[in-house]
Amino acid sequence: MSLTKNKAVNEWVNEMAAMTKPDGIVWIDGSEAQLGALRKESLATGEITALDPEKLPGCFLHRSAVNDVARVEHKTFICSRREEDAGPTNNWTAPDEMYAKLRKLYGGCMKGRTMYVIPFSMAVPESPFAKFGVELTDSIYVVLNMAIMTRTGIRVLKCLDSSASPSDFTRGLHSKAGIDEENRYIAHFPEDNTIWSINSGYGGNALLGKKCLALRIASYIGRKEGWMAEHMLILGIENPNGEIRYLAAAFPSACGKTNLAMLIPPEAYRKKGYKIWCVGDDIAWLRVGSDGRLWAVNPEAGFFGVAPGTNMKSNPNALLSCRKNSIFTNVVHNLDDNTVWWEGLDKTPPKNALNWKGEKWDCTDGSKGAHPNSRFTAPASQCPCISGEFETPQGVPLSALVFGGRRARTAPLVYQSRDWDHGVFVGSIMASETTAAASGAVGVVRRDPMAMLPFCGYHMGDYFAHWLDMGKRIPNPPKIFNVNWFRTDGKGNFIWPGYGENMRVLEWIIKRAFGEAGAVESPIGRLPEPGDINREGLDLPLQTLKELLTVDRDLWREEAKEIRAFYSKFGDKLPSKLNDELARLEKNLA
């Protein structure tokens, strides 16, 4: 039975049900009782496994299909009416054509299954910035994940119904169908506020609130409404005076957002009273506040974090966040104590265990037990360092924006842009080695502007223009920086210790933002002198820090050539200001 009198919602649900033909329809009300019943059902079918109730209370293990373990960028489409509105970096198909193709695939695909109707909100539903969605899905796993990652249920329907336009919600249709890779599609129709996803049950392909709504659709809406949807973590740095300053940082998938968002400062900092507060680990919605600053809201309610490499040393707060009420996907099942394991959790892989595919796993045979893109889904409220501002509707004011990626050699540890426009240039030229978060080759350097290459819902050239335009509308804009934790030596080892030690770089960034730290000019922007980065309690020679902060002109000349080639994709949609910035970089390097 429908939970709402909202005509637009009911008509659409009925229309989709007529196409997909489920045996029944269940509305998700957001109650613990209903979720409990769904977990029971999911346990009975083997879709999820209950983990040890003492060690991991309320936690479950799920294994996705072996062919369905990451986002599929080559199957992700922006179906705007005009091809040029999707731009050169997105796959495009005309909406009519895509709807027609997918209607065939959806036809009767839920026969023998239940359709779950998930009313959800990105951001606190009572917030004026919230965006509402309804996801229809035939996967209980998706329901259970959405219940952690978003606010769901009757509370959301009430807010939608009493909003200025109750028919204004994102229409998300999802079906696992046959998990058929060939016919897997993640299609967005920005002008219809609609997402159709079929033949995947995993992560960003299936949890439609996350990348599909909160980034692709929201970036499109944000451009129209004068705000920005970004692939950014948000954190607060509390200094010994008790003052908290905020920054947001965009790194590509599996490049360190969750880790940075909840880092524990090194002992030397903790003793002085420094602390990091986590506001968000993946997505930020940015708006100009009435005070002239840029304010950030995390639209999500949970973390969908990378498991491998997460341990009590690298990211204790992430580990503590997923000790209860969490879902683990594609990790190792330790059969001895009914817990989970992944590479990098500790040095003692379980002897009696199943790998992520559910096969008996011999940890000595050299194979990986957990999938490199295996993940935990955990409520953000369980994070020991969750910010007191996590749920405040207006979010937090930003003093700095940070871009970063995986670069073995070119990018220095950190540098600052000269001003907003140069900062937009720095974001637009981001490049990073690909990771397991998306299907395809891993470790290949590609341009990934603002870490949004796979997530921008419209023409990237227009997106750059929107960034430049926003700069004009923020009287007191955050300062813009670039970081790189991933420089390697000749043997491929990371030079910078990273993780908690990144605090040392954050300190320089946030002090720079307030004019409290020094810097020197370089061809690419402003760099700290090696002595400007605090090395107290860090076993790292000054010489190594110098190396981390060098700008190799030959490498950068090559880089400038690649940027020029990349920019040429955008034709006359490339804002002339970015061309000017590139010309200036080339001149500085000459």
Q: How far is CA 539 from CA 501, 503, 535, 536, 543, in A?
A: 11, 15, 8, 8, 12
For 233, half-sphere exposure in the C-beta direction (CA atoms, 13 angstrom radius) is 29
> What distance in Å separates the CA atoms of residue 511 and residue 477, rounded to the nearest whole number?
15
Residue among 76, 253, 355, 432 that touches ligand SPV (CB under 6 A): 253
Residue among 305, 369, 397, 404 that touches ligand GTP (CB under 6 A): 305
- The nearer residue to Mn ion, 304 or 567, going by C-beta atoms, is 304
73 binds ligand GTP (CB under 6 A): no
Residue among 114, 314, 522, 588 that touches ligand GTP (CB under 6 A): 314
Residue facing Mn ion at closest CB distance: 282
**DSSP letters for 85-152:** HH-TTSB---HHHHHHHHHHHHTTTTTTSEEEEEEEEES-TTSTT-EEEEEEES-HHHHHHHHHHSEE
- The nearer residue to ligand GTP, 105 or 301, going by C-beta atoms, is 301
Is the Cα dihedral 560, 449, 236, 494 positive or negative?
A: negative
138 binds Mn ion (CB under 5 A): no
Q: Quick one: how far is CA 117 from the chain centroid? A: 24
Strand pairing report for 284-288 and 431-433:
unpaired
184 binds ligand SPV (CB under 6 A): no
- The single-letter code of the amino acid at 149 is M
Closest contact distance (angstroms) between CB of 70 and ligand SPV is: 7
412 binds ligand SPV (CB under 6 A): no
498 binds ligand GTP (CB under 6 A): yes
Q: Which residue has the tokens 């309320």?
A: 58
DSSP letter for 576, please: H
Judged by phi (left if over 0) then psi (alpha if -120 to 50, else beta), residue 58 lies in: left
Q: Which does 440 bind (CB under 5 to 8 A by kind): Mn ion, ligand GTP, ligand SPV, none?
A: none
Closest contact distance (angstroms) between CB of 330 and ligand SPV is: 12
Residues 388-447 contacting ligand GTP, CB under 6 A: 437
Q: Which pair of tokens denotes residue 245? A: 């300053």
Please pick, among 59, 159, 212, 255, the residue that the annotation labels catalytic: 255
Determine contact, residues 8/166, Cβ cutoff 8 Å: yes
> What distance in Å separates the CA atoms of residue 235 and residue 249, rounded to the nearest whole number?
9
Determine contact, residues 174/206, Cβ cutoff 8 Å: yes
380 binds ligand GTP (CB under 6 A): no
- The nearer residue to Mn ion, 4 or 310, going by C-beta atoms, is 310
Q: Which does 239 bind (CB under 5 to 8 A by kind): ligand GTP, Mn ion, ligand SPV, none?
A: none
Determine contact, residues 249/257, Cβ cutoff 8 Å: yes
> What distance in Å separates the CA atoms of residue 173 and residue 136, rounded to the nearest whole number?
5
304 binds ligand SPV (CB under 6 A): yes
Q: Which does 60 bind (CB under 5 to 8 A by kind): ligand GTP, ligand SPV, Mn ion, none?
A: none
Residue 586 CB neighbour total at 10 angstroms: 16
Residue among 282, 300, 389, 532 that touches Mn ion (CB under 5 A): 282
256 binds ligand SPV (CB under 6 A): no
Q: Which residue has the tokens 């970004």?
A: 230
Q: Which residues neighbour 515 within 8 Å (Cβ) at sequence distance 6 or greater?
A: none
Residue 397 β-bridge partners: 295
Closest contact distance (angstroms) between CB of 215 and ligand SPV is: 9
Binding mask 462-491 for ligand GTP (x = CB under 6 A): -----------------------xx-----
Residue among 88, 309, 358, 471 that touches ligand GTP (CB under 6 A): 309
- The nearer residue to ligand GTP, 27 or 274, going by C-beta atoms, is 274
Residues 431-490 contacting ligand SPV, CB under 6 A: 437
Helix or strand run (H / E) with residue 248: strand 244-250
251 binds ligand GTP (CB under 6 A): yes
Closest contact distance (angstroms) between CB of 186 and ligand GTP is: 16
Q: Which residues neighbour 273 within 8 Å (Cβ) at sequence distance 6 or greater?
A: 238, 239, 240, 242
383 is catalytic: no
203 binds ligand SPV (CB under 6 A): yes
282 binds ligand SPV (CB under 6 A): yes
Q: Which does 358 bind (CB under 5 to 8 A by kind): Mn ion, ligand GTP, ligand SPV, none?
A: none
Binding site for ligand SPV (CB under 6 A): 71, 203-204, 210-211, 253, 282, 304, 437
Catalytic residues: 255
Binding site for ligand GTP (CB under 6 A): 251, 253-259, 281-282, 305-306, 308-309, 314, 437, 485-486, 494, 498-499, 502
